[in-house]
Each structure stands twice: as C-alpha cells, then as structure tokens.
A and B are shown apart, each in its own frame.
Chain A
Amino acid sequence: MSVLEVRDLSKSFGGVEAVADVSFDLGAGEFLALIGPNGAGKTTCFNMLNGYLRPDRGSVKLEGRELVGRRPRAIVRMGVGRTFQITRTFLSMTVRENVQMALISHHKRMFDFWSRAVRMYEGEADALLDLVSMRDQAARPCSELAYGDLKRLELAIALAHEPALLLMDEPTAGMAPSERVALMALTGEIVKSRGVSVLFTEHDMDVVFAHAHRILVLNRGRLIAEGSGAEIRENPLVQEVYLGGGTVFAAEGV
C-alpha cells in the first residue's frame, strides 16, 4: 500500500502554472527523488505537501488521510517530517536540547510551565542522536556545529515525531562531495531500519542515481518521466529538458 498518494496537484501564481496535474504514489520504505531543472516546480510541490501552500486543485493523502487544507504543524503531527535546504535549528540550544524540543512537542508537553526541559526525554533524544552518530556532540551549542552536522541533527529532529514520510528539500546542498555520500547513505539506512519513506529533491545527479529507488522528473510544473535511474537516464524527454538533447548523464556513470 502506498504511504503517500498525490493526485492532480496544481497551483498557479498569477496565470503561471507552477505545478500542473502532478500525480504520484510513494510506497512504504521507498526512497523517491523529485528532480527537474530550476523553476520546474519542485519547491512549490514540496510546499503544497507540507502545508505551506494551498493547492488550487488536487489531493494529497498520507496513509489514506487528506493533508490538503491542514496547517503545516498539523501535517507534521500526522507524520510528515521534513528537513530544510538551509538548516533551521534553535541556535541558542544544545544539540540534545534541539532533539528534546521536538520530543516535547511530539508528546504535547509544550505548555508544561513547571518541568525542567533539559531533563525531559533525555534518553530518547540520545537514542535519536546515536542513530545519526551525533551522540558525542550532544552537549555542544548548536551554533558551533559544522554544516554537515547540522544536517544530521535535522534528520534526528525530524525522526523525533516518528514520521511515516520524510520530506527532504535539497538535503545535500552546500555540502562537500564526501559528506553528501555519507549523509545519503545514513538516510538510506534509516529508511530501511525505521520503515520511513523519503521524498527528496536534489540537484546532484550522482546522489540521485546512487540512492533513489525511483525518480520523478518535473519540468515546467508537469511530471514528464518516472522510473528507475536507468530508465530516467535513457529517457529522451528528460535528456531534452536537461541539456536540450545529447547524452547528459552518460559521463556521470553509475
């Protein structure tokens, strides 16, 4: 059964169709990439999935429940976690506290006026930090972290809600090539071990072909191709879009 069902998702901005009739399914434990040139509508698509934009038409169902029309925070609570293209963390808190905050919110204890926040869900937070190999940095202020570590921290924060689906917007943007591989390998393991499904956008085709189980290609707001890495690489329409013809991906190999 598919975790996410997207049907006829559409959004226009002042007459420009940013996203038009996009439909796809995402299976349990699947690692799905959404790619496309700049301005293809990837971000608009993402923002409709996580509730920041209201689609003009279409429906998004998570495990059978409609997401369209709900607020972002409600969607988070229903089991859609996310990481940001530019990391967003609570800089005045430690690494562990950032995860604890997500856990506190998950357990609906945010309006507790009395307990000491730093003593809450410490064990669970450390377990999540272990998962992303950040346990040794748990006590460090978030403002001191390296960028790649912030990305891993965001992953741990997203997992605090036990999401069924993880939306990752450009997860490896701004990272060194070796870090990219490591982060995606880590994400892949988590997908496998926790049964989370992942939808991610990505510019780095090496990352996409190496890790995605399946790929969706978006161009000018429409889905133009869908399939495995090999299928996408051979697809003439995709090659047309990416370089106006020619062999785009041949050089990059596998």
Chain B
Amino acid sequence: MGFYLAQLLTGLANASSLFLIACGLSIIFGVTRIVNFAHGSFYMVGAYLAYSLVTWMDGGIFGFWLSLLVAALIVGVLGLIVEVTILRRIYHAPELFQLVATFGVVLIVQDAALAIWGAEDLLGPRAPGLARAVRILGEPIPEYDLALIVIGPLVLGAIWLLFHRTRWGILVRAATQDREMVDALGVNQRWLFSAVFVLGSALAGLGGALQIPREAVSLQMDLSVIGEAFVVVVIGGMGSVSGAFVAAVLISVLNAFAILIFPQISIVLPFVVMAVVLIVRPYGLFGRPGSEAGGAEEPEQPLRLMSRRGAMVLAAFVLILAASPAVTGDFTSILLVDVMVAMLFAVSLHFMMGIGGMVSFGHAAYFGVGAYAAAMGMKYLGLSMLPAMALGPVAAAGAALLFGWFCVRLSGVYLAMLTLAAAQILWGVTYQWGEVTGGDDGILGIWPAGWASGDKAYFYLAMVLCVGGMFLLRRMAHSPFGYGLRGVRDSAVRAEAIGMDVKLHQWMGFTVAGAFAGLAGVVFVFSKGSVFPDVLGISQSVDGLIMVLLGGIHALAGPILGAGVFILIEDWVTRLDYWRVIFGGIILVVVLVAPDGVAGGVDRLLRAVGIRRGDAT
C-alpha cells in the first residue's frame, strides 16, 4: 500500500514540474499561436541561472527561494527580448516560420549556455530545509517532492486568479478565444503579446529553477523537456492552463504506475496518451477550435510544366553531378551523397507540406524507419543490399500509412503536433528496445554490397536513387494526384464538392511522402554504415523544415535548393566552435529578411536591381 502511495506522490511531484513548464507554453500558444520550441531553452536557462544564483548567494532557505524567483524573473526578461526582437515580426507568418525561428533561438541559447556554464553537467545543491525524506506508510518520500506537490496547484491558483480577477487576465483569455475581436476592441496587442510572453517565459524559468535539487543541470535539458511539454499542452488543449494541469497529472501518474509493469514505457507513454486524446478530442481535453493561426497567405501561383530551356539546364546539372567524381576527390563524393539524401528528404517533406498543406514536425520518423528497416533487414533477415534497400521505403510507407490515418483527421498545428508525437513514439521505441534496435548503440556494419562499396560507386547508386526519387515526386506533383493534394490544401470544401475523397487523398499523400523519406533514409544508412536513434529525432525533423523554409515553400525547386544550401552551410559551420550560434543566426536572418526563402529572396533581389522583370510577387 505504502509503495503505491509513494509511486503516486512521485507521479504528482513530476506532474507539478511538468505543469510549470507546460502552462507557460500553453498560455503563449493560446494568445500568440506560436509553437515555441525555445520554451525548453527558457526552462534550461532558468535551471542554469538558479544554479549560479543559489551557489553564489549560499544563503539558506531564504536565499534559495529568492534565487529561484530571481532566476525566473531574468528568464522573463530574456523572453521579452526574444519576443520584441524576433517573434513580434512573424506573428502573421505561417506556423512553419515561427517554429523554425524559435528553433534558431534554441540553437543560439544552447551555445550561449555552453559558453557561460561549460559542457559539464552541474549538480545543484539540495533545497535547504527540504533535503531529507519523510516516511509515509513506511516509504521514504523526499520532502522536496512534497513541496513540489504543493507548488504546482499554488501556481495554478495564482494564474487562475490573474486570469479571472484582473483586467489583463480577462484580455488574455479573450485573446485566446478570438484575437481579432480583441484587436477590434482597441486593445494594444503588442503590449498584450509581450506581457504574455514574459509571463510564459518566466514560468518556464521557474520550472527549470525548481528542478535543480532534483536533477543535474545539463545542455540537453531544453530538447528533452520540450517534447513532453508540447504533449501536455496538446492533451490539455492549447491555451488552457487548467487543461495543462490535468494533462500533467494524467501523464505523470499514469507513467508512475505504468513503469511498474513495463519499465521501458516512460519515453513513449506521453505520446501514446496524446495520440489517443487527439483522436477522441481533436482539440485536447479542454481546448476549443481557436481563431486561425497566422495570417492569410498570399495565394500560390499555378504550377507550370518545365520549359524546354529549364529541362536543358536541369539535364546539364545532372550531367555535371554525374561527372563530378571524375574530377573531384572522394571527400566531395561523400559530401554530395549527403546533399542528395538531404534533397530527397526535403522534397518528400515539401510534397506533404507545400503541396499537401500538411505541416509535419516529425518527418524524420519515416526517414528513420527507412534507415532502420534496411539495417535490420540486413542484420536479422540476412538480406543483401538491394532487397534491404527495397524494404526501407516499404516499411516507411507502412509506418506513414499507420500514423497518417490518425494525422489526416486533424489539420493545421494539431496535425503537426500529432506528427511530432508519432515521431517521438518511434524514436522512443527505437531508443528503448535495445535488444532489437541496438538502442543508443545503434546498428553498425551496414555497408553496401561489394560492387557498390567504393565511395565513387556508391555515389552513382545514391545518385540514381535520389535523383530518381526526386523525379518521381516532381512527376507526381504535376499528376492528377498531386493537383488533388493542392486542391485539398486550397479548399477542402471545393475538393469534396467535385467528388474527391479528401481524407483518403491526404492519407495517400502522407504515405507517399513517408515512402520517399524512407528511401532517403536507406541511401543515408548505407553511406554511413550505421544508424542511431537520432535519425528519428526532433533535430532531424527540424533540419528538414529548415531546408524547405530556406528554399521557399511555394516552389517545387525550393526544397532542392534549400537542402543544398543547408548541407553546405552545415558542412562549413560545424567545423567551427559555437557553430550553433552561427547556424541559429542564419536561420533567424532568413526568416526575418527573406521569408520566401533563398529562391524568393534571390528573385526579389534580381527584381530590385532590375535584372529580372515581371509582376511583383
């Protein structure tokens, strides 16, 4: 009995931490509709600041709690800076831009934290006065856990009072329901948004600060927490603070008991719960379909078939690519394989996102499934290279068929969140199921067959697969199927009215995109000779998003250009210390200066200097 109570109390303490992180994220999303990846960074900075302040002050109980509050306040100021300098400019951009911009902030904060606090994990002091454990029904319960169990509901109560008893809070709730209406009533939106962002960031900072007696402060805190925080927000209903609380309790308590039966479940469980909730209640437990995110986008221009001249230029490029191993070294060939893999991955993502209008935050899932399927086919089934390569896209299509069925039932940012959940579930399974997937150690020794094993030989194989894959996707974009996807994106109502099966069409689009991402994964795994769980991770998914964004989402050539630029920048930048700052800076510049991507930016530049003429885009 006492044991189960102890599990419950641990679960509740975890729920409090989770709630503190998630509620800020939820408030920010509710009002600004921004999916803020940088929230995890604020959490991490809160922990680091609290660590420094507590060690510096060293002032007993009062000093400890004061340090935590000061840390939260500083993070609030940091939030204000980010909001004013970056987010304020992109409130009306599509969610993809916002997500990628906040990811740029993540990268910059990571390097800043590395520079200030170093790469070592920092073990925080225990909370003065709460350092011991009390015995409840014979089981030791840390006093600090009990304190957390109290703090969570206290913060919930404070936010409730703020939102229901102050004019500001009422405006925030109104803005969560209908941003335009609040604007029409003459409320200063800028001020409201900034204030909300400060509050949300400070709460994240407080959440991080409160963690220091419980876990070591590390540079991995940001991305490890953000996934779960999103899950809580989505389950609770985006913008709902009490929903976040209920969701945090639900997940943490379920988890506390589930690990007794199946210890490996903890990474996967939150995402499974989220998937179930979203299917039953598409807007979360307490959520309502809010006002639309972002602003109205300018309608895309009609597609054109490639002109004769365009086809010739393209053919020339392919020929140069094919001839490149003759004149360059093996190193270039290896780099070019990376570039082609990235291009195919980005084009497949663009197929569902640009053409199909389904934003995916978890496209890496299908890349990873393709890579793992090929690796496992070789390792366990004893397949030779080509059959293993064929297995990859088939398995990826299977995974996309399964998860896509759920995802296409939702739309917009909710669909994106479910794709993220799907990817995290697959990542969790891969990571935890060590006996089969090798877990963290990955699967090694996946090399191409003898005839394709040289760097140059493999380059040609990769080229056939990647260029072929991109050709097929382009051909499909111009086919009735691709037009149908664009039609559904433009107007689902019209698509239905001409007799289309909208969900089936989206589902198939999702599956096709997954299959080709799987093909990219296959080419990837044989070029590296090994595969690790991070191929399914958030970073890989975000890389794809950045490539599509870099290239510009409105052009079929966009993702190809974007992926090329991305890999070349990455290759150059990652050789430097603090490459994340540079990379994050580049991302922010692109989002803020050239929101239509490199292709669009170049286009506008040419028009501006008068080299190219035509209608303004």
Contacts and interface: CB of A to CB of B under 8 A. Distances in A.
B579 to A, nearest CB: 37
Contact of B483 (A89, A114, A117): A117
B145 to A, nearest CB: 47
A88 B502 CA distance: 15
Interface stretch (A94-102, A186-194, A204-212, A241-249): A94-102
Contacts of A115: 479-480
A115 B481 CA distance: 9
Contact of A110 (B475, B480, B496): B480
A90 B483 CA distance: 10
Nearest to B298: A143
B347 interface: no
B498 A160 contact: yes
B305 A118 contact: yes
A65 interface: no
Contacts of A84: 493-494, 497
Interface residues of A, number: 36
B507 to A, nearest CB: 12
Contact of B299 (A72, A97, A113, A141): A141
A120 interface: yes
* Contact size range, B: 20 to 34
A72 B492 CA distance: 12
B440 interface: no
Contacts of A160: 498
B482 A117 contact: yes
A105 B301 contact: no
Interface string B468-491: 000000011011111110110111
B499 interface: yes
Name, among A92, A113, A161, the residue most crowded by chain B CB atoms within 10 Å (CB to CB). A92
A92 B481 contact: no
A104 B487 CA distance: 12
A77 B494 CA distance: 14
Given A93-B483, A114-B479, A102 B498 contact: yes
B113 to A, nearest CB: 43
Contacts of B487: 90, 93, 101
A215 interface: no
B301 A92 contact: yes
Contacts of A110: 480-481, 484, 500, 505
Interface in B437-489: 475-476, 478-484, 486-487, 489
Contacts of B299: 91-92, 141-143
Nearest to A72: B496
Name, among B486, B487, B490, B493, the residue most crowded by chain A CB atoms within 10 Å (CB to CB). B487
Interface in A67-100: 72-73, 76-77, 82, 84, 88-94, 97
Contacts of B486: 90, 92-93
Nearest to A118: B305
B508 interface: yes
Given A101-B483, A104-B483, A94 B494 contact: no
A114 B300 CA distance: 23
Nearest to B500: A105
B479 A116 contact: yes
Contacts of B614: none
Contacts of A117: 478-480, 482-483
Contacts, number: 107
B302 interface: yes
A49 B196 CA distance: 47
Does more than half of chain B's interface fall in helix, strand or loop, or is it mixed?
A: helix
A91 B484 CA distance: 13
A110 B483 CA distance: 9
B121 interface: no
A142 B490 CA distance: 11
B479 A105 contact: no
B491 A76 contact: no
B501 interface: yes
Contacts of A113: 475-476, 479, 481
Contact of A101 (B303, B479, B484, B508): B484
A141 B482 CA distance: 18
A120 B478 CA distance: 11
Given A91-B490, A104-B483, A161-B499, A111 B508 contact: yes
Interface string B500-542: 1100010010000000000000000000000000000000000
A204 B503 CA distance: 37
A89 B484 contact: no
Interface in A106-137: 106, 109-118, 120
Contacts of B476: 113-114
A118 B501 contact: no
A101 B302 CA distance: 13
Contacts of A142: 299
Interface string A1-20: 00000000000000000000
B347 to A, nearest CB: 15
B480 A72 contact: no
A112 B498 CA distance: 16
Given A72-B497, A94-B302, A101-B498, A112 B490 contact: no
B499 A112 contact: no
A118 B478 contact: yes
A157 interface: yes
Nearest to A141: B302
A113 B496 CA distance: 20
A90 B494 contact: yes
Contacts of A116: 305, 478-479
A37 to B, nearest CB: 26
A238 B77 CA distance: 66
Contacts of A94: 302
Contacts of A76: 496-499
Nearest to A97: B302
Given A90-B487, A161-B498, 4 more contacts: A77-B499, A117-B479, A141-B302, A142-B299
Interface of B: 299-303, 305, 475-476, 478-484, 486-487, 489-491, 493-501, 505, 508
30 contacts: A72-B496, A72-B497, A73-B496, A76-B499, A82-B497, A89-B490, A90-B486, A90-B491, A91-B490, A92-B303, A97-B302, A101-B480, A101-B483, A101-B487, A104-B480, A104-B484, A105-B499, A105-B500, A106-B498, A109-B480, A112-B479, A113-B476, A114-B476, A114-B479, A115-B479, A117-B478, A120-B480, A142-B299, A157-B494, A161-B499
Interface of A: 72-73, 76-77, 82, 84, 88-94, 97, 101-102, 104-106, 109-118, 120, 141-143, 157, 160-161
